[in-house]
Structure 1
Amino acid sequence: MAIKHNNAIPNNHFHKHWQRRVRVHFDQPGRKHRRRQARLEKAAAVAPRPVDKLRPIVRCPTIKYNRKVRAGRGFTLQELKVFFNSPRRFPLARTIYCAHFSAGNFGKLVSPASSLRPLALRSTTAARIVSQESLAANVARLKEYKARLILFPRKSGQFKKLDSSPEEVKAAKEAFAAEGKVEGYATRVQATLPIKNITREEAITEIKRDEMPEGEKAAYRRLREARSEARLVGVREKRAKAKAEEESAKK
């Protein structure tokens, strides 16, 4: 292998029997199978809850990547404060779960937990919101998430104010009790509320001439004329002055 970059020149002295210590990955198919089985077991253990949590929309750092958005670590306290509309202390969350598309409609979110702590939301105290645009986007994301929520009562049959209606809870229980009849209920939050970047085709649209405002028509021509006027104003004033002097001399 060729030596590259400003690194130390390799001068290895292998005294151990290194051929017996070479790491191989002949178990790659088996590992793949075990990972898949672990995912299925986890989904079955937490059902009807989803396996992941809702994450905020954040913009990537640095000038090179700040055009793109991605999933953040967690919602900030400012976002949760605005979402819960509480000026002082506020409940961090309840378990919120979102759904996938089913027959053109959104499904419902299912949560068997009724406490305000595990909302299936990630929160962080390290981040600070300095952009009202980001704050509004994440609060709207939380509201959309909450709108698809089914909250089970903590104690069976004892419905409280924030819990879902008995009909919704009953329908969700029946759907998960019957095998293969869980259409409309989500197992992954990020699949239901994905974070999408705007493509170049979506961001750049063609503007027709008749769609432009009245003051914007022939903008390039008017800009060139303004630059020409600014550049030639002295020459034209001198020319007009010389012409006026010639006319006065003829008289």
Structure 2
Amino acid sequence: MGHGGNNIIPNVHFRKVNGCQAGRKNRVFMRTWLDQAGRKKRRSNARKAKAAKVFPRPAAGLLRPVVHPPTQRYNMKLRLGKGFTLDELKEAKIPRKYAKTIGIAIDHRRRNRCTESLQANVERLKLYMSKLLLFPKKAGAKKVRKGDTPRSELENVAQNTLKDIIPVPKPEKRTRARAITSEEKEASAYKQLKKARTNKHYLGERMKKAKDAAAKET
């Protein structure tokens, strides 16, 4: 039977909530997780097979930088990024083409917005290079290139099977209570921000005045 008039078409989803969750049809729309143990074992075997395939390289893949996620909601956290910037590689003295051959991810689109993140990733690269062992590509004493690790040090080398080659640092979140100093009481964040905005607004005018004054003196 139709509805008279231009009314809203009823679209109530009783079946998705409790329509078949009672009585003898209790499990009609319920998903089971009976193969949880089997899937866990399958994932474990897949990780072991992948690690054996890429041996002696790290099982986690390429080395990636530590970055802050975007937006105000998540930027206090740390996670792995896509790749290191060209400035970070330059600061760590690692050539761009050479970095690709030793398991370092590169992202030429990323930019360093502050010195702290730049130095943190440079230290990460230096730590990686200090622990890196380069296997010669081919057998024979004549095939050993400059920078390769001596064969005597490559016996019984353990593979890095961590989820991250170098784990992401976990910052200390707990702040112990202390007394507020007199300098902190006198300081005003509003005045500092206001001063910074004013300096930015009049920067061009002040630079022009300084340039004109220097031209008159000469």
**TM class, shorter-length:** 0.5 to 0.7
SS of the counterpart of 2:104?
coil
Equivalences for 1:135-150 in 2 at 5 Å?
135-150=118-133
1:151 aligned onto 2:134? yes
AA partner of residue 115 (structure 2) = Q
The one of 49, 59, 62 aligned to 1:51: 59
AA partner of residue 162 (structure 1) = G
The one of 98, 117, 124 aligned to 1:134: 117
AA partner of residue 46 (structure 1) = V
Equivalences for 1:1-251 in 2 at 5 Å?
10-11=12-13, 24-52=32-60, 53-84=62-93, 90-93=96-99, 117-156=100-139, 157=141, 158-168=143-153, 172-173=154-155, 175=156, 182=158, 185-188=159-162, 190=164, 193-201=166-174, 204=175, 219=182, 223=186
Q: Flag the 1:92–1:205 CA change in 2: closer, same or farther, 3 A.
A: farther
AA partner of residue 97 (structure 2) = P
Q: TM-score, normalised by structure 2?
A: 0.61
Q: Is the 8 A contact 1:48 1:187 kept in 2?
A: no
Q: Is the 8 A contact 1:80 1:92 kept in 2?
A: no
Aligned length: 164
Find the counterpart in structure 1 of residue 203 from structure 2.
none
SS of the counterpart of 2:39?
helix
Alignment deviations for residues 119-178 of structure 1 (CA, whole Å, 9 cap, x no partner): 22222233222222211111110011000011011122222221112321xxx33x15xx
CA separation in 2, counterparts of 1:9 and 1:135? 55
CA separation in 2, counterparts of 1:139 and 1:148? 15
Gaps in structure 2 of 5+ consecutive residues: 1-9, 17-26, 187-218
CA separation in 1, counterparts of 2:12 and 2:105? 45
Alignment deviations for residues 164-194 of structure 1 (CA, whole Å, 9 cap, x no partner): 12321xxx33x15xxxxx4xx522362x521
Identity among equivalent pairs (%): 35
**How far is the alpha carbon of 1:11 from its aligned partner?**
4.3
CA separation in 2, counterparts of 1:30 and 1:13? 31
SS of the counterpart of 2:97?
coil
Q: Is the 8 A contact 1:59 1:66 kept in 2?
A: yes
**How far is the alpha carbon of 1:38 from its aligned partner?**
0.9
CA separation in 1, counterparts of 2:177 and 2:148? 48
Q: Is the 8 A contact 2:69 2:77 kept in 1?
A: yes
CA separation in 2, counterparts of 1:143 and 1:154? 23
CA separation in 2, counterparts of 1:81 and 1:91? 12
Q: TM-score, normalised by structure 1?
A: 0.54
CA separation in 2, counterparts of 1:189 and 1:36? 13
SS of the counterpart of 2:59?
coil
Aligned-residue RMSD, C-alpha:
3.5
SS of the counterpart of 2:48?
helix
AA partner of residue 168 (structure 2) = I
Higher relative contact order (CA 8 A, sep 6+): 1
